[in-house]
Amino acid sequence: MLHFLYSQLFRLVLPFLLIKLWWQGRRSPALRQGWRERLGLVARSEQPVIWVHAVSVGETIAAAPLVRTILERNPAQPVLTTAMTPTGSERARALFGDRVQYAYSPYDTPGSADRFVERVRPRILVIMETELWPNLIAACELRGVPVCLINARLSERSAQGYERVPSLARPLLQSIRWIAAQADDDAQRFCRIGARPDRVSVTGSVKFDIDVDDEQRQSAERLRSEWGNRPVWIAASTHDGEDEQLLEAHRRIQSRLPEALLVLVPRHPERFEAVGALIRSKGFRLALRSRNDAARGADVYLADTMGELMLLYGTADVAFVGGSLIERGGHNPLEPAAWGLPVVTGPHVFNFDTIYQQLSDGEAVIEVASERSLAEAVEQLLAEPAQARRLGDNARAVVEANRGALHRIVEGIETRLADQ
By mean pLDDT, which of 61-65, 66-70, 100-104, 271-275 is the weakest? 61-65
* Selection from 237, 246, 234, 233 nearest residue 323 by Cα: 237
Q: How confident is the model at residue 377 (pLDDT cuts 50, 70, 90)?
A: very high
**Average pLDDT of 142-154?**
94
Q: What angle do CA 137, 404, 99 make, to 5 degrees?
A: 60
Q: How confident is the model at residue 226 (pLDDT cuts 50, 70, 90)?
A: very high
* Selection from 50, 40, 37, 42 nearest residue 146 by Cα: 50
**Average pLDDT of 174-202?**
95
Is residue 212 packed enough to be buried (19+ CB in 10 Å), middle (13-18) or exposed (0-12)?
Answer: middle
**Average pLDDT of 161-190?**
92
- 50, 51, 69, 122, 175 from 73: Cα distances, Å: 13, 15, 6, 18, 27
In a 3-state reduction of DSSP, which class is residue 82? Answer: strand
What is the Cα 149 distance to its own chain's centre?
A: 15
CB neighbours (10 Å) of residue 292? 11
pLDDT of residue 157: 86
The whole-angstrom separation of Cα 128 and Cα 399 is: 20
**Average pLDDT of 8-37?**
83
pLDDT at 27 over 80: no
- 70, 89, 408, 409, 417 from 54: Cα distances, Å: 15, 9, 19, 15, 20
Q: Find the helix or strand (DSSP H, E) in which 180 lies.
A: strand 178-181
Residue type at 128 in one-letter notation: M
Going from the N-terminus, what domains does the chain have, and what CATH number goes with each? Answer: 26-209+404-419 (3.40.50.11720), 214-402 (3.40.50.2000)
**Average pLDDT of 184-207?**
94
pLDDT of residue 374: 97
pLDDT of residue 351: 85
Mark whether 59 is an active-site residue: yes
The whole-angstrom separation of Cα 49 and Cα 160 is: 35
**Average pLDDT of 67-93?**
88
**Average pLDDT of 18-46?**
83
pLDDT of residue 3: 85
326, 239 Cβ separation under 8 angstroms: yes
Of all residues in the chain, the percent with pLDDT exceeding 70 is 99
Q: How confident is the model at residue 25 (pLDDT cuts 50, 70, 90)?
A: confident
In a 3-state reduction of DSSP, which class is residue 26? Answer: coil
Q: What are phi and psi of 228, to 5 degrees?
A: 85, 180
pLDDT at 131 over 90: no
Exposure of 382 in the CB half-sphere (CA atoms within 13 A): 26
pLDDT at 67 over 80: yes
The whole-angstrom separation of Cα 392 and Cα 386 is: 10
Catalytic residue, chosen from 59, 90, 131, 242, is: 59
**Average pLDDT of 364-380?**
96
The whole-angstrom separation of Cα 118 and Cα 43 is: 11
Q: How confident is the model at residue 130 (pLDDT cuts 50, 70, 90)?
A: confident
The whole-angstrom separation of Cα 33 and Cα 25 is: 9
Q: What are phi and psi of 344, to 5 degrees?
A: -115, 140
Q: How confident is the model at residue 24 (pLDDT cuts 50, 70, 90)?
A: confident
Residue 134, C-beta contacts closer than 8 angstroms, at least 6 positions apart: 3, 6, 7, 108, 168, 172
Q: How confident is the model at residue 225 (pLDDT cuts 50, 70, 90)?
A: very high
pLDDT at 30 over 80: no
Q: How confident is the model at residue 97 (pLDDT cuts 50, 70, 90)?
A: confident
Write down the mean pLDDT value for the chain: 92
Q: What are phi and psi of 147, to 5 degrees?
A: -110, 130
**Average pLDDT of 55-79?**
88
**Average pLDDT of 6-19?**
88
Is residue 152 packed enough to be buried (19+ CB in 10 Å), middle (13-18) or exposed (0-12)?
Answer: buried
Strand order in the sheet with 49-53: 101-104, 79-83, 49-53, 122-128, 147-152, 178-181, 200-202
pLDDT of residue 179: 97
Torsion of CA 189, 192, 193, 197, to 10 degrees: 90
Q: How confident is the model at residue 94 (pLDDT cuts 50, 70, 90)?
A: confident
pLDDT at 33 over 80: no
Residue predicted with more confidence, 32 or 230: 230
pLDDT of residue 92: 85
Q: What are phi and psi of 265, to 5 degrees?
A: -125, 95
Full 3-state SS string of 92-154: HHHHHHHHCEEEECCCCCHHHHHHHHHHHCEEEEEEECCCCCHHHHHHHHHCCCCEEEEEECC
Q: What are phi and psi of 237, to 5 degrees?
A: 55, 50
pLDDT of residue 51: 96
Q: Are strands 286-288 and 365-367 parallel, antiparallel or unpaired?
A: unpaired
